[in-house]
Structure formats: C-alpha cells, structure tokens
Structure 1
Amino acid sequence: MPRTRADGKKTQIVVVGGGAGGLELVTRLGANLPRADFDIILVDRNPTHVWKPLLHEVAAGSLDANLDEVGYRGHAFRWGYRYFDGALEGVDREAKEILIAPINDEDGSEVIGRHRIRYDYLVLAVGSVSNDFGITGVKEHCLALETRADADRFRRRLLNQCLRVSRQMVADPACDALVKVVIVGGGATGVELAAELFSAADALAYYGLEVFDAKRLKVTLLEAGPRILPQLPERLAESAKAELENLGVTVLTQTQVTSAAADAIHTKDGQIIAADLKVWAAGVRGADFLHEIGGLETTRGNLLVVLPTLQTTRDPSIFAIGDCAFFKPEGADRPIPPRAQAAHQMADAAYRNIRAAIAGKPLVPFVYKDNGSLVSLARYSTVGSLMGNLVGGRMAIEGRLARLVYTSLYRMHLIAIHGWIKGLSLLLVGHVNQVVRPKLKLH
C-alpha cells in the first residue's frame, strides 16, 4: 500500500486499547511515520493509562496512580498520534470502519453519539477481563482488578472496613473484630495483592488509625490447583507460600469455589469462608463484545485467533495483540500467556509488520521469547525465574536480584512510552516521591 491512498487521504492506522501493548505501539507508529502521510489513532474508553501489573499496589493504597498514570491526550500530542475517548462496539470490515459506542455524561446526557472511525489498518489491543467461569454470585459480590477504577474501588472499601474495625476497637479494646479479605486465584495478581495488603496495614497506624495494625487483617488466598504460582518452579512457589504464611496469609490450595455471597465464599469441600472483601483473580478471558466481532474468528473464551504474523485469520488488515489475542506457536502445548512481556513483544512485532505491509514487503512471523516470571511480595520479598541464556536454561532468582529485575520491567515500559530522557526523569521523580510523599494513598 502506498503512503497515501488513491483518494488522497492519509493512511489511517487505528489501535483500540491503550494498555501496555497498545500504548507502546501507537507511540512507535506516531514517532516514526510521517504525519503528512499517516494518521495514527488510539481509541480507549479511559482517559489515562496505568501499567496493569501495578494495579495491586493501587488497590492496597501503596501506589498513588495519579503520579504514575499517563494521560492519553497529552501523550498523543507529544508522540504524534490522536486519541479518541470511547468504547469499541463493533467492526464493519466491508466499510473498513469501527463503531464507537455513545459517550454519556454523569447525568446520563449524551456527550458524543455513536460514531464511526475509518481504518486502513486496525489493531485490537483491548486486553482481557476476569473469567468467573459462570460461578454463582461472583459478578455480584466479587471485585476484580482490571482497571484503575477497580483498584480505586477496592481501596475505598478496604479503608472503610479498616475504619469500622478501628472504631470497634476504640469502643471495646477486647473485641475480636477483623478485616476479612478473601482472594480467589493463586497467580501473580492474587499473591502480590495478598502481600501488599499486609504492607499497607502496617502503615495505617501512621495515618490516623492508631489502634489498627496487620494483626487485625485476615487474608485468605484460595487456589483451585495443587499449588500457587504455577508459572514458577515449584521451589520458588513454595518459598512464596512460606513468605505469605509468615505474614499471616492463610493459603488454601486444591480449594474450588462453588459460589460467592455478600459476606462469604463457599467452597466445594463445604467451607464457608467469611469475607468483608472478595477479590476474583482466578483467570482471564476476552470481553463479551469480542465474540465473533466483525465476523472474525474467536475462541470459546472470546479471544481473537491470529496468524503467526499477528493478523487475524479472516482479515489481513486487522491485527490483534496482547491479552485479547490467541496465538499458539506451532508445536507448542499452550498459547502465548497473557503477560505484560507478551504484550510488549507483540507490540514490537505488530509495528514491524504494519511497516512491512505498508511498504509491500513480506511480514515476519512473531516469535515469543519467554523471559521468565517474577512475583513481588510487596517490600518483603521477590521471587521468580529468568530464562538464563548465559547458563543454558531457566535460572531461579530470589531476594534483591529478583526485586531489581522486577522493577526493571516497569522501567522498560516507561522508556518505551516516554523515551529515554523523560522515562529516566520519571524514574528519578518516583524515587523522590518515595521519600517525600505519604506511604499510603487514603483518598
């Protein structure tokens, strides 16, 4: 395809979803394609971006998302793309347009009506949603950590419950009131949140809850499988479990949830686990609106099936990257996992293949490189495994080295979306904020 269309219009590249992969992709496209010939558009229903692996810290209050979020409008101006506020509603492949749902004000009045945006190339990077597996009561009574709004909602409810317990303790120092949190899912999100809650509880005494400490926090982590953190070697998973139990977390494996109620989680083995707050982190799937959207091929879990080039199987002008894409490499037992590193690598591959398609060159198959997994247990510990190419295989790491590598993943993301100068400046500001700002965000 030539740089400009036969009708003289700019070649329009639309990316839907401003998560890790989508934002990195539009940043590179906007920075490297001439604006006179290309129109790069990002569509997202939220005005700002927060790196998803940090949401457990936002939920616990140990990270102020206002300092770390990226406003799409300002970022778009800096990097040469346009931002449209809105939610994807459909894809008209024949007209090569996407349908954007209406935007309503808080009072319900319409701000922008349903409208269409044309595309020459479309990239779907809309992420994933929690998979409740159809279990009764999960949608109604459990919280997920999918967005900044979800994390803020959890933090407010957590703080309110801590305040209730604190007041009960003031009125009756001998009472046994507890803040009871049940987290379903022993993957990285569930494990990291469990540890972060104890780190936050220890700091509440410095911010007005003098009679509250971590001993008043009861956290239960439920995992249906035989162990937590199945993506890590068993020794590291056991190390993480021991660390959690030392903090006070009750870790229950091989425990299947059958239903959720307003005040409890019910399990297959007959347990009724009381809970003031319930977090669902037991798996992900594609959003319902993705099911065969625009006639594209999707899985039972609403993920978009892609070719090795990351093009969708039924339309070469539509790509999918990140958590919403289903790609199983030839000979592999499982598809590419929904991880930040996969989204980062897919964004790079999609960028190169879109450039190749524009130039009329062959597209290159995507090759996923598993760089390992890392799990942060707040300020207490970090465990993980890296693909130790220098030592001929996977390398288990713990402690300070693991923490250094874990934080470097976020640094790489900042540099990818801000460039070296601003990215490094933000890292410096982050270190300063750790010293001068409150340890917890309580509002």
Structure 2
Amino acid sequence: MRTRPLKVALLGCGVVGSEVARIMTTHADDLAARIGAPVELAGIAVRRPEKVRAGIPAELITTDATALVKRGDIDVVIEVIGGIEPARGLITTAFEHGASVVSANKALVAADGAALHAAAEKHSADLYYEAAVAGAIPLVRPLRESLAGDKVNRVLGIVNGTTNFILDKMDTTGAGYSEALDEATALGYAEADPTADVEGFDAAAKAAILAGIAFHTRVTMDDVHREGLTEVTAADIASAKRMGCTVKLLAICERAADGASVTARVHPAMIPLTHPLASVREAYNAVFVEAEAAGQLMFYGPGAGGSPTASAVLGDLVAVCRNKLAGATGPGESAYTALPVSPMGEVVTRYHISLDVADKPGVLAQVATVFAEHGVSIDTVRQQGKGGGTSHSNVVESGGEADLVVVTHRATDAALSSTVGALRELDTVRGVVSIMRVEGE
C-alpha cells in the first residue's frame, strides 16, 4: 500500500457533508484498504465557521473555498454545496489545479454537465456524481458502466422521496394534498420551501441526467417536460383506485420506437397496482430500467438523507482515488448518438380525463364526437351524478350536474391537448376537472 495519503477537500458540511466527514474519519482504515492508499481530509469549506460541528477538527474549517481547491496538493474535491454558483466555478478551478471531483449536485450536472465533462477531460480528471440521482441507490454507475454494452430503451422512476411520501399518504389515508404536505414537512421530508420537490424541478434534473447517460446523448433540464403534483386531488387518487391504479410522480425517459429521438418528462401519472413501482412507499425511490438484452431491471432504496447520500459520495470517492493511483480516469461523457429530444406533444400514452358536465341527454355523444374528431380513441367512460349514481356505458341522465370520467387508448399528447381545448368549448362541459396520464401498462 502507498503510504502518502490522497488528500481530499470537502466543499460543504451540512447534512451530507458532515456525514461524509464522519465516515471518512471512522472508516479511514477500511477506505485505505479498499483504495490502496490512505485518504486524508485536508480541508472543509463552509459558509458559517462559527457553527459547532461535532467530531470535526476546527483547523480543517475554512471559509475560502477557492483557496482550498487551488492548493495544488488536493487530489479529490468533494462538492456537496449544491446550486449552480459558486459550485460550477469551484469545480472548474479544481480541475485546473489537478484535482478530480465527486459531486452530489444534480442541478449543476443537469444544467451544465457537458461543459463540466469537457473541463474534466481537458485536465485528465474524473467527474463522478452517483449521489446526484436517487441517493444511495446505485444507478448512475450501472447505467454508465454495467449497461454500457446494452441498449437502454426506457427509464421509468420515482426519484423524489418528498413527493412519493405525499402521494403515498394521500393514497393510504385519504388526506388531501395540503394535509399530506404538512405531515411531510413535520417529519422533515419536505423543506420549508418545498417548491423544488412538489413542482417537479428536483425530479426533472435527475431525469435529464438519467436520459443523457441511458441514451448516450445530451439532455439538459430545459429539455425535460415538467409538471408538479400540486393539482393532484383526493378525487384523482380515488379515481385511480377504481381503475386498480395508484398515482406517482414519475420521471420517464424514453427512446423513440424508431430510435431517432428521445423524450424526457416528469409528471404525476396513474400506474397499475401490478407494476413494481406501485408498491414503492413512504419516501423511498425506485427506478425501473428496460434494456434490450438485460430486460427489465429495478433499483430501489432510500433516495435522500445524509447517510444514504454520503454512501454514494464515498463510493465515488473510492473509485476516483483508485483511478488516481492507477494514473487513469474513469468513463467520461458519452454523447455519441446526439439524438434530438422530441417535444412533449409527440409523447404517446393513455389518459384519464375528468369532466364536470351537465347531466342531460346527449352529453356523452357530444363528448365522444370531440374525441373522435381529434383522433383520440376512448377506452372506457364512467359518469357519476353529483348525487352519487354511477354508470359505465349508459350515462345517467337525470338533469343537473355529473362527473364524467374518460379513459383513452394511446394517443399523442398533442392530440389530447387539442381534444381538451375543444371540450372546453362545449356548452355542456362546465369544466375539465383533471387530466392525468396512465403509464406502466
């Protein structure tokens, strides 16, 4: 074993960073044995040096992150501060001064991954970011390395624990969105400002990373169609149950059937209870991968939190340190296919549409005509009068108001959008209550 230690700079010492520092200290001997050389925590850059950090020597703390990554004797920089800047500038500076980088920064990798990979390659450095997607779940490396000889056609996953917790509580307890969000916040699953989670920004960044790796093409967060779950109601959850489904916020990355393009999207969707993702509960994550030779694979586990994310960071640290000792670098960006990202309008799936309609003769015929005129085939129809009477094929026509639920066969998103626009023009349609895609069939 080499006796000179590999020196590591840590940028950020919050929930994840402090756990990384703790494990590096308590498991130092094991890490050294696995790497082939000792690793030494050489400095930790923080914003609040006055904060008490149990078990972390005060002499390691600095507020000058730039000076830390410029030292020249740093072998690996671990970045867990998040956000675009100053993280991007610090990572680039680290490459320029001979360090490889391990990052948990999904937003930065999704927005500027190509430039970061180019900088790493220019300076013969590594850029690893397993922790940027799905916490402790090994996902980036299996896609980038284990499945490198296969053709991945689809990645479908629950990649945000906060939203899965909220939807799970709505499904199991009958709670509304606000009530479930309050519980998630009280338990620490949701931030004080939950926008990044509930509006799908967090999941969209992860979808961009997964799509880029899976399809060997460049996909940024701007390419990902994004919808949050704030409009999901208890009625949507109940309707899904009647169909034998549950509602999940899904990240879906797909290769077109002709292989000429890809799509990436994040939105709530109904999935059958028979699908493996339907059983993912609480704040857990799971990703379902469909590959040509390997078939269907599922990766499951805790997707966030200090210890799970630190586990992914340290796995990357071991890999990068081994590369350093070997005088080599690991896999960089693979974007040789250069496939275009198709717009959401070209996505083909099924839909669940809930309409508030006048409960009188001829309504169903009018609605069916609109669907037919826009090339969207109806699978099932269910109408429930406001008083509770339900019919599946012959509409209850009692005069007054009713909820009409239409489930379609597969159609393009553009065709569905034009259908909904025309439905809103009908005098007998008082409102389009909700639209939800049906996936996983």
Q: TM-score, normalised by structure 1?
A: 0.25
Q: TM-score, normalised by structure 2?
A: 0.26
Structure number with bigger Rg: 2
